[in-house]
Structure 1
Amino acid sequence: MARTSPAATVDRHPVDQMLPVGQLLLYGLQHVMSMYAGVVAVPLIVGTALGLPFADLAYLLTAALLVSGLATLLQTLGIWKIGARLPLVQGTSFAAVASMLAIGKDAGGGVAGLQYIFGAVLVAGVVGFLLSGVFNRLLHFFPPVVTGSVITVIGISLLPVAIRWAGGGQPTAESFGAPANIGLAALTLAIILLIYRFLPGFFSRIAILAGLVVGALVAAALGKADFSRIGEAQWFAVSTPFHFGPPQFAAAAIISMVIVMLVIMTETTADILAIGEVVDRPADGRTVVAGLRADCLATAVSGGLLNSFSASAFAQNVGLVAITGIKSRFVVAASGVILVVLGLFPKVGAIVAAIPLPVLGGAGLALFATVAASGIRALGRVNYEGNNNLIIVALSIGMGVIPIAVPTFYEHFPSWFQTVFDSGISSAAVTAVLLNLLFNVGRSGTPREAALVAESPTVGVTPDYDVPGGVTDARDTDDDARAAPPHRSESRPEH
């Protein structure tokens, strides 16, 4: 019997492979450590700006971890037609921070501000869930020339975060850029690179985790790590529904958050397509819709019941999957379990939170740059001969870099415009889609023969098939067989 188990899993896609429990927990912890700072940053920023006391701040933090864990489990394991069933980590979205701060301050700050934020988040999540099916019909507008550009900008937009971490936090801080901070970041990065170079196999798969642990230990020895908050944290806490009171609703707040939700859905679509490329299971229309449903449902429950904010896929963890080669969605599900535990035991989470920012910055440089490299790899499969794909890539990346390089560039524009274009990711996505429509798609909605991009939609082929990479999901074999021309499989070789 012992020999039949491996044979039974030979034909399983790496995404669906179940690893031993020890490896699941170890690799899952690596995912948590790479995204933990991003999860806790949003509640800390919003709570501090609204003037909440430390106890309420701690409660928001616990709620964010719990919701991130539950949303990650929903996304990776799936229920019915909800969840992409890909290795995607869910967390609180930075895209909504500016709008939430405006909503909270307009409501007078404090707990009252939170109630209006939660109300807007709840409605935005419901609206997004109802609209998620529309994205299934938009996938054929996302050929590699579009997705490659967006994925590249995702990586570029994350790099400044890693650079700020490496410098010690905010550039306005007195110690920012101190040699000790940059040295810690460089040491962490060097450890990761040395492990990749000299310790292949299992050790290379935990290189990020090892770099973070060693970097934190060195920082503690140098007195650069602050563990005082571990003692302040509670041993056990549960985020109960309506802890801050029932959600409140205001039309302006809801409209603002719905716009943000559409931006988050655009970014999540790009992340789903990106992870599909990384794990060699290109996301079809059903997968994208299922992933968006998980995103929006988690957002609605988060704001309506569990005292947290909008949820979205974390691009940095896409980079971690790419750099480690661990494609199993059950590894990311394990990270969801760890996040739930951290949300229930704040003292355990405080230990992870004690990792100094420069150490996170060293690991982040490797992770986030890998995302950009994945986009460049996708762009390498685009056909640039006899078409305008080069200008599409150039302007999409250029527009995406504007808010990254100069965050105040659009500050005099209307708020709705800023909501969309203050995000480099959404700027690149909107630009790439519109330019692809202009140059590569005719008025009838089908691509022009003279301007076809590599692996772009073909007349007579269903949108579910036409995804980056050109590999059909096994669930859609019957549909594809009915819709595709007989020679299709010969023109789209397996990678």
Structure 2
Amino acid sequence: MVDAPITQTLEKHPVDEILPAPKMFVYGLQHVMSMYAGVVAVPLIIGTALKLSGVELTYLVAAGLFMSGVATLIQTLGFWKIGARQPIVQGTSFAAVSTMLTIGTAKGGLDGLRAIFGALLLASVLAFFIAPIFTKLLRFFPEVVTGTVITVIGISLLPVAITWAGGGAGAKNFGQPTNVGLAAITILIIVLIYRFLPAFLSRVAILLGLVLGTVVAIPFGVTNFSKIGDASIFQIVTPFHFGLPTFAVGATLSMFVVMLVIMTETTADILAIGEVIDKPADQQTVTNGLRADMGATALASVFNGFSVSAFAQNVGLVAITGIKSRFVVAVSGVILVFLGLFPVLGALVNLVPLPVLGGAGLVLFGTVAASGIRTLSRVDFGGNANLVIVAVALSMGIIPIAVPTIYNAFPGWFTVVFDSGITAAAISAVLLNVLFNIVGRKEGTEGPIFSEAPPIASISDEDEERLKSEASRRFDAGDSRE
């Protein structure tokens, strides 16, 4: 007896599913819209701080979009042992902004930009090769470290947004009511979008705030349309467009610390997206994803872009939409590459007046700080160890933000490292975490931080029920009095 042929149908996992082209484009465009503002913000921050010309700034924005697209394709499609092959959107990372500003403004202009690219190139190449080791050292980067660092990232960027809201450093009309008013209107627009518009539009609230804020600013004469005429319609992104990078030990060390922070954030995103798509990431997947992160950053430094990393907001978008296909996100990468090849599109972004950008920046950078606080909310503060780690690391990070000149008398290498609040906080948090939580830790041996202070109180579930009962009785008593 001959058995009938058995046809085995191997169903693809949703992450490897290829959807119809129209759906792929729409879903991919949705990813781009939710992260576009974050990608263009970093080139605008760096280019404006270094006082680049309109043409140079436009090119920088286009390069940022182009490299974000390339990085997304590397991460989603993958090759060899590079790329997590997950639906992860890569974009320009905010984590390195503070450090890049410190490195760049030390020289200024194109010299500062070349110094940034040099530090990025060396630091990312080194991080690429240690990726397999890093995935085995994650215990040195728990939430108490990453939460503190992310919080300082947001705090360190807020002064930049405040300066923009006033009209820009050195502006003759700095702090005028018109400038501050435009920033306030932009914030109001963003808040109203978040509160009242559908979820999809709320995810691009920053971008819509920039667009509508710019429209509101037109009657006040602060929008310069001549920038569009300076930009070419089509332009190939070429290696070392701004000149060969320059290298310095202090700048590279400072940037390498930032690479470790970015790798920590990307690891968290890879693990999170693995849960969302029902395909948990193993150690090899994380390692491959980190290689893609650092390899793309090294490539970006050659092609005039900045550090790239996984965008957490797009992880949330995958969870909300339920679209798990990595090829949808690959389409997002193609769209970003397309946008980067047309600098005139970057020039449209460059129309945004500084006060409007400052208003959006306050929300955007404040959100980064709030994300760090949310991470810290998951930390166990039952004893004093983690409290001390956060307290000291935050203080070290805020020192150069509050008093930028405090390290002026120190050697140059020290200044480059510790003038960055993010770097100072990261080094402090990692070392303190090792001291308190890893080396020779003994449970139950922590003493009070202030010997005369009472222990920190907490509200238990029983307390909440009792308080609710008390509130109900007071409410009833009030009714009877009426």
Q: What range is the shorter-chain TM-score in?
A: 0.7 to 0.9
Corresponding residue of 1:199: 197
Corresponding residue of 2:91: 89
Whole-Å Cα distance in 2 between the matches of residues 72 and 451 of structure 1?
A: 47
Q: Does 1:21 align with 2:20?
A: no
Corresponding residue of 1:425: 422
1:242-262 CA-partner distances (Å, limit 9, x unpaired): 6677x58x8xx2534532441
Corresponding residue of 2:309: 313
Corresponding residue of 1:145: 144
Deviation at 1:351, TM superposition (A): 0.6
Whole-Å Cα distance in 1 between the matches of residues 159 and 312 of structure 2?
A: 17
* Structure 2 portions without partners, runs of 5+: 1-10, 447-482
Given residue 139 of structure 2, which amino acid in structure 1 is its aligned partner? H
Q: Over the residues paired in the alignment, what is the CA RMSD in angstroms?
A: 4.0
Q: Summarize the Cα distance change of 1:421–1:74 in structure 2 as closer, same or farther, 3 Å threshold.
A: farther
Q: Summarize the Cα distance change of 1:338–1:220 in structure 2 as closer, same or farther, 3 Å threshold.
A: farther
Q: Summarize the Cα distance change of 1:266–1:38 in structure 2 as closer, same or farther, 3 Å threshold.
A: same
Deviation at 1:294, TM superposition (A): 2.6
Q: Does 1:394 align with 2:398?
A: no
Q: Does 1:411 align with 2:413?
A: no
Q: Summarize the Cα distance change of 1:221–1:284 in structure 2 as closer, same or farther, 3 Å threshold.
A: farther
Whole-Å Cα distance in 1 between the matches of residues 445 and 79 of structure 2?
A: 40
Query: TM-score normalized by structure 2?
Result: 0.72
Larger radius of gyration: 2
Is the 1:121–1:300 contact (alpha carbons within 8 Å) kept by the matching residues of 2? yes
Is the 2:60–2:305 contact (alpha carbons within 8 Å) kept by the matching residues of 1? no
Deviation at 1:265, TM superposition (A): 0.8
Q: Does 1:262 align with 2:266?
A: no
* Structure 1 portions without partners, runs of 5+: 1-7, 453-495
Is the 1:127–1:258 contact (alpha carbons within 8 Å) kept by the matching residues of 2? no
Q: Map residues 78-227 of structure 1 onto 2, 5 A cutoff.
A: 78-83=78-83, 85=86, 86-90=88-92, 93-94=96-97, 95-99=99-103, 122-170=121-169, 172-227=170-225
Whole-Å Cα distance in 1 between the matches of residues 161 and 268 of structure 2?
A: 20
Q: What SS does the corresponding residue of 2:379 show, helix, strand or coil?
A: coil
Is the 2:39–2:64 contact (alpha carbons within 8 Å) kept by the matching residues of 1? no
Given residue 255 of structure 1, which amino acid in structure 2 is its aligned partner? V
Whole-Å Cα distance in 2 between the matches of residues 192 and 221 of structure 1?
A: 20
Q: Summarize the Cα distance change of 1:366–1:420 in structure 2 as closer, same or farther, 3 Å threshold.
A: same
Deviation at 1:233, TM superposition (A): 0.8
Q: Map residues 263-342 of structure 1 onto 2, 5 A cutoff.
A: 263-272=257-266, 275=269, 289-304=287-302, 306=303, 308=304, 310-313=306-309, 318=312, 336-342=333-339
Q: Map residues 316-465 of structure 1 onto 2, 5 A cutoff.
A: 318=312, 336-443=333-440, 448-450=442-444
Deviation at 1:162, TM superposition (A): 2.4
Whole-Å Cα distance in 2 between the matches of residues 192 and 55 of structure 1?
A: 29
Q: Summarize the Cα distance change of 1:141–1:412 in structure 2 as closer, same or farther, 3 Å threshold.
A: same
State, as a whole percentage, how many aligned pairs show the same letter: 48
Q: Summarize the Cα distance change of 1:383–1:257 in structure 2 as closer, same or farther, 3 Å threshold.
A: closer
Is the 2:228–2:347 contact (alpha carbons within 8 Å) kept by the matching residues of 1? yes
Is the 1:104–1:117 contact (alpha carbons within 8 Å) kept by the matching residues of 2? no
Query: TM-score normalized by structure 1?
Result: 0.71
Q: Summarize the Cα distance change of 1:27–1:425 in structure 2 as closer, same or farther, 3 Å threshold.
A: same
Q: Summarize the Cα distance change of 1:64–1:34 in structure 2 as closer, same or farther, 3 Å threshold.
A: closer
1:289-326 CA-partner distances (Å, limit 9, x unpaired): 4444234322433445x3x2552438xx6578779986
